[in-house]
Structure 1
Amino acid sequence: MLWLLLLHIAAVICWCGSLLYLNALITGIFSDSEEQSHQALTLKVFSRLATPAALVAIASGTGLFLTGGIIDRWLILKLSLVVILVLCHALNGWILIRTEQALDNNLALPCAVIGITAAIMIPAIVWIVLTKPF
């Protein structure tokens, strides 16, 4: 079970880091010649790093929950905050689709809101897991 915990922690670190990085990538200002490569890099970070890491984090976390038999109130709060991170991930994907289709160029505010939300949720989840407040 230790290997599952280590896998979960590594996947969570990759997922959370990529969630914070994606918002900076999406709102980056580049010249027209760099725009194509920038957009390709952003899509690669989302599809080849963030999404697989999210899936591994959720699957390994579910495995830990099922094998450990943990049913406490702190876990329900933690899972509720993880749902908010999943929503941040989905919103990043939606924004990427809109930028790929050139539907929206003014993304600073939505990306800032998503980034701030993720930046608040990540330490809150860590605090809940480490302190198990109730």
Structure 2
Amino acid sequence: MVWLLLLHMAALLIWAAALLYLPILVGAHPNTPPDIDQQPRPYSSVGRFLFTRIATPAALIAIIAGTVVFLLNRTVDPWLIIKLTLVTALVVAHVLSGALVLRAEQPEKRGHIRVVSLILLSVLCLLMTAIVWVVLAKPMVVWPL
């Protein structure tokens, strides 16, 4: 049980770090097109590697390990439902990060990429802060009937 929780937290740290770095990486890329002599290689960006090889596997491991911990503990507290809702929003932000990487790889669609990266980074920071707060505070929520 403790090993699963440790695996869950380690995967969460890797997932969060990759998701926070991705918009910074994409937004910091220069908007200038490559030289004429230099042929761009499709699907060779660092952002794509970070998203497909690090962030997505870490997300899957974190979600699977968290689900197993949830099932073994049989916890059905209201704070957990709030946390799972926030994690669902984080998964949506993860998908949007992938869309940002795809958009950054197409030079004709790079307009406003820095603004989109900044907005995505802000949303990620808010979601991660909210998740950590809910997990640590475990607020008492009374559902109206």
TM-score computed with the length of structure 1 as normaliser: 0.90
Q: Is the 8 A contact 2:45 2:105 kept in 1?
A: no
The alignment partner of 2:52 has SS state of helix
SS of equivalent residue, structure 1 residue 74: helix
Q: Deviations over 1:16-69 (max 9, x none)?
A: 1111100011112346369x59x6211111111100000001101111111110
CA separation in 2, counterparts of 1:96 and 1:111?
Answer: 10
The structural deviation recorded for 1:15 is 0.5
Q: Which amino acid aligns with 2:134?
A: I
How far apart, in 2, do the equivalents of 1:58 and 1:103 lie?
35
* Aligned match of 1:10: 10
**Superposition map of 1:1-134 within 5 A:** 1-30=1-30, 32=34, 40-106=45-111, 107-134=113-140
Supply the distance in 2 between the matched residues of 1:43 and 1:28 (Cα, whole angstroms): 15
List runs of 5+ in structure 2 lacking aligned partners. 141-145
The alignment's C-alpha RMSD in Å is 1.9
Query: In structure 2, the residue corresponding to 1:70 is in which secondary structure?
Result: coil
- Larger helix proportion of the pair: 1
Normalised by the size of structure 2, how large is the TM-score? 0.84
Which residue type is aligned with residue 85 of structure 1? L
Q: 1:27 aligns to what SS in structure 2?
A: helix
3-state SS in 1 of match to 2:82: helix
Which residues of structure 1 form unaligned runs of 5+?
A: none
Q: Percent identical across equivalent pairs?
A: 40
| In 1: Cα distance, 2:130 partner to 2:89 partner | 12
Q: How many residues align?
A: 132
- Give the counterpart letter for 2:90 in structure 1: L
- Partners of 1:84 and 1:114 in 2: CA distance: 12
